[in-house]
Amino acid sequence: MSPNVTKKVSNQKIGSKKNYGRNAETSETPDIEDMRKVKQLVKPDNQLKLSESDLKEIINKALVTTNPQKQSNLVEYSYNEGKYIFVSQSTNLVVAYKHDGSLIHIDSDEASDQLKEMGYDPDEYRAQARETIEEEGIIEETKTELETKKDTPSDENDKVDAEDDEEEAAPISKDNEEEDHADGEEDEAEGERPVKTEIPKGRKKKLTNQFNFCERATLTINAPVRSQEVQTVPPPRANFSGCALQWVIYDAYQKDFEKQEAEKEIEREKREKEKSVISLRPKTTKKKLDKTQMTEAVKLRIAESWKVLERMINQNTFYEISYDYRYWEDPADEFREEEGTLLPLWKFSFDKFKKYTITDIEWNPFYNDLFAVSYGFLDFVKPTKDGGVCVYTLKNPSYPDYICLTHTAAMCVSTHPVYPYMMAVGLVDGCVLVFNIQKSCKQYEYRSNSVSNKHQGIVWQVKWAPDMPDGELNFYSIGSDGKVNNWVLMQNEMTYTTVFNLYFPMDPVSGPDGMSLKIRGSARCVAFHPKDPLIYLVGTEYGTIYECCTAYSSMFLFEYNAHHMPVNRIDFNRYNCNIFVSCSADWRIKIWEHKREEPLFVFDAGSSVCDVKWAPYSSTVFAAVTSTGKVLVFDLDINKYKAICEQAVVPKKRNKLTRLSFNNKIPVIIVGDDKGSVISLKLSPNLRVMCKPTKKQQHLDQSVLQCMKMDKLLALVREPETESPPQETTATEE
């Protein structure tokens, strides 16, 4: 078909469109005409009225290229010059949008490098590209000329259209039609298709890992397995025994049911109070008791919550001290030989007993972070009217967990090894108290009679003993009246038996009516044998130590002429029970062996020694405190002549240390002074060196190794029992 026919059809379509537009204009409705009317604007009442001069006034608006957010007078610090220098001002240009293109100019060096990499000759490629661009430009110009000719209609075209119609009416042969059709397609192809020029192809870029894959096995290195050991504090354990019988279970269910009913009754009363303003219903005594019980339970729960919160606050406050308490190890000990240090941790005090003297300190045998402190006086020139016992924990150094007040000064305290909530307290007036802190701290559980059932002097020390065959709890007390009493806790009362009477080592004095009287001695301290509870040692005010037995009340087993002044403390070794240490106000610390009159070791502290204790982790380590505020730590395996650590803990002129105690699990000691303060100290690694077993001793535990170390040390200082050799040896020599 010739292109003239298509032009004719297009003209008819255009004409039809024009007719459709005319019909649409004549068929408009009046509603549309109303919509096309000019809308009238409504002026608001509060619009500002301006004069014609104001309306005609031209307001100039200027666009400024300055950036209001640009910072001025910028300076920066130069570490080379050591001063501030000005920074160069940036331009006012603000980039709103930036997009990097991927096109590069064909004449650039980067394009040349890229063409060389693809395998083309840059000069040849540019020449061919310019020829193709010129040919494409010529083709575009011819296209535009043809389009302009088609768009401009004329009378000649109409004549040509009429001639074409006549030619269509005449019969045309098939051969002519095919030739005309072929000629038309060739003309269209020449007018529309651009001339394609072949560009030389470069070398193909190799595609990596495409249909060219092979498996390759490799053997990796396995990470070495490392084992890390962590030592933690074991959780507390408790033995519980009970009897589950049918009536016991029934009673428990009945109590629970009554409790639920009481709670429902309380809720019902609350609802009635909310409904009615005035309640005229009388309240019975039983309901009052239930309410008080509920309030006490709520108070206890609130107190527990406050205790946990207080401990969390203290832990966050003293975080560094808590970290040192667990993980601090003095690195300087590696470079110090035969020396150690003490790291101060927390300081414990109570405002009520701020000026009181620490008379005794003891760690709780069950809880490793709990210890009891008794407050009284040791300077009889400045006595105190009252006293008490405070139980502190390392988790809360700001305030004691339990406070037990006494009517007079407390001189000693002891905690039961099986029932850690039972505490025995000795007072300055000779009375003995027993507190059950689990039940109540305000009221004592047992108390000795203030007239006859007590000591006639100061109670210097109390010690719990193994339970009686019938299961009753009992403890021993020693006083300045020379008596050693055994107190037994009955169901409703506390009774005592005098186990030993201490007399002065001198002849009897004549009394009235020709009687001869023995002068009673004064005891200061007592220590029970760790393995044999019948044997105990008593230290006196005149420096003598007596070895006694609970089975004999009239005589002692052995006498040690230990010191020249009062014996302040005696303590048995934890690993070798035949060895004990004593200290006195005569500046001496002496180590004794069972049934030996002469001491094995004697140390001069330079001042009055108030307390001495063996370490629980080593058989050769012990510590002492002096009145000059120093803590002395000895290790006989390292140095047999002087202390390996001598450190002042409190000021010498104002304070003096009175008591000392080792922790059973953690390398921490606590010391008390005469100003009511308790200081906790951590031992450095050189002060707690453990035994290292040899290859042949790998199967032995630490306790056996400690005993062997002590025996080896004693073999060096023991004197032979006989100076002459045995008879068998002399006979062989002859």
pLDDT higher than threshold 80 for residue 37: no
3 state SS for 336-381: CCCCCCEEEEEEEECHHHCCCEEEEEEECCCCCCEEEEEEECCCCC
Q: What is the DSSP letter of 237?
A: -
Phi, psi of 243 (to 5 degrees): -125, 115
Instruction: Please calculate the CA angle 173-177-183 and round it to the nearest 5 degrees.
Output: 145
Once rounded to an integer, what is the mean pLDDT over residues 323-328? 84
Own/partner contacts of 27-31, CB < 8 Å, gap of 24 or more, are none
> Would you give the distance in Å from CA 355 to the centre of its chain?
35
CB crowding 328-364: b at 16 or more within 10 Å, else e: eebeebeeeeebbbbbebbebbbeebeebbbbbbbbb
In the prediction, which pLDDT does 147 show? 74
What letter represents residue 410's amino acid? A
**Residue of higher predicted confidence among 89 and 402:** 402
> Would you give the distance in Å from CA 490 to the centre of its chain?
46
Three-state secondary-structure class, residue 701? coil
Instruction: Tally Cβ neighbours within 10 Å of residue 290.
Output: 18
d(CA 708, CA 278): 83
d(CA 303, CA 368): 23
pLDDT higher than threshold 80 for residue 709: yes
| pLDDT tens column, 187-243 | 444 444 544 445 555 555 555 555 666 677 777 888 888 887 877 888 888 888 878
Confidence band, pLDDT 50/70/90 cuts, at residue 9: very low
3 state SS for 263-310: HHHHHHHHHHHHHCCCCCCCCCHHHHHHHHHHHHHHHHHHHHHHHHHH
Closest CA to 458 of 497, 486, 429: 429
Own/partner contacts of 175-178, CB < 8 Å, gap of 24 or more, are none
In the prediction, which pLDDT does 370 show? 92
Burial class (CB in 10 A: 0-12, 13-18, 19+), 487: buried
- What is the separation, in whole angstroms, between the first and last Cα of the chain? 157
Helix (H), strand (E) at residue 253 = helix 246-275
Please give the mean pLDDT across all residues of the chain: 79
Q: What is the DSSP letter of 518?
A: P
In the prediction, which pLDDT does 32 show? 61
d(CA 640, CA 602): 10
In contact, 371 and 361? CB cutoff 8 Å: yes
In the prediction, which pLDDT does 303 show? 83
Instruction: Point out the least confidently predicted range of 9-23, 24-38, 113-127.
Output: 9-23
d(CA 247, CA 409): 49
Helix (H), strand (E) at residue 23 = helix 3-26
pLDDT higher than threshold 80 for residue 282: no
Instruction: Point out the least confidently predicted range of 20-24, 423-427, 437-441, 515-519.
Output: 20-24
In the prediction, which pLDDT does 286 show? 46
* High-pLDDT (> 70) share of the chain, %: 81
CB crowding 415-441: b at 16 or more within 10 Å, else e: bbeeebebbbbbbbbbbbbbbebeeeb
Instruction: Point out the least confidently predicted range of 96-100, 207-211, 492-496, 538-542.
Output: 207-211
Closest CA to 521 of 544, 537, 496: 544
Closest CA to 69 of 89, 92, 86: 92
d(CA 647, CA 633): 9
Confidence band, pLDDT 50/70/90 cuts, at residue 518: confident
Instruction: Point out the least confidently predicted range of 181-195, 282-296, 428-442.
Output: 181-195
In contact, 351 and 368? CB cutoff 8 Å: no
Token duo for residue 415: 């905690």
Confidence band, pLDDT 50/70/90 cuts, at residue 721: low
d(CA 416, CA 476): 12
In the prediction, which pLDDT does 55 show? 85
pLDDT higher than threshold 90 for residue 65: no
CA Rg value for the chain = 54
Phi, psi of 422 (to 5 degrees): -95, 125
Phi, psi of 299 (to 5 degrees): -65, -40
| pLDDT tens column, 559-591 | 898 899 999 999 999 998 999 999 999 999 999
In the prediction, which pLDDT does 152 show? 55
Three-state secondary-structure class, residue 5? helix
In the prediction, which pLDDT does 538 show? 92
What letter represents residue 200's amino acid? P
Once rounded to an integer, what is the mean pLDDT over residues 477-487? 90
Three-state secondary-structure class, residue 637? coil
Phi, psi of 88 (to 5 degrees): -60, 140
Rounded to whole angstroms, what are the CA distances from 690 to 432, 580, 622? 40, 21, 14
**Residue of higher predicted confidence among 34 and 147:** 147
In the prediction, which pLDDT does 213 show? 62
Confidence band, pLDDT 50/70/90 cuts, at residue 4: very low
Give me the CATH topology for the region 340-692.
Methylamine Dehydrogenase; Chain H (2.130.10)
User: Which residue stretches of 74-205 are H helix?
Assistant: 109-118, 122-151, 155-169, 174-192
In the prediction, which pLDDT does 273 show? 77
For the beta sheet containing 558-561, the strands, ordered from the edge strand earlier in sequence to the opposite edge, are: 523-528, 535-540, 544-549, 558-561
pLDDT higher than threshold 60 for residue 148: yes
Q: Answer whether 0.85 is exceeded by the pTM.
A: no
Three-state secondary-structure class, residue 480? coil
Once rounded to an integer, what is the mean pLDDT over residues 484-499? 89
Q: Best-predicted range by mean pLDDT among 44-48, 69-73, 445-449, 476-480?
A: 476-480
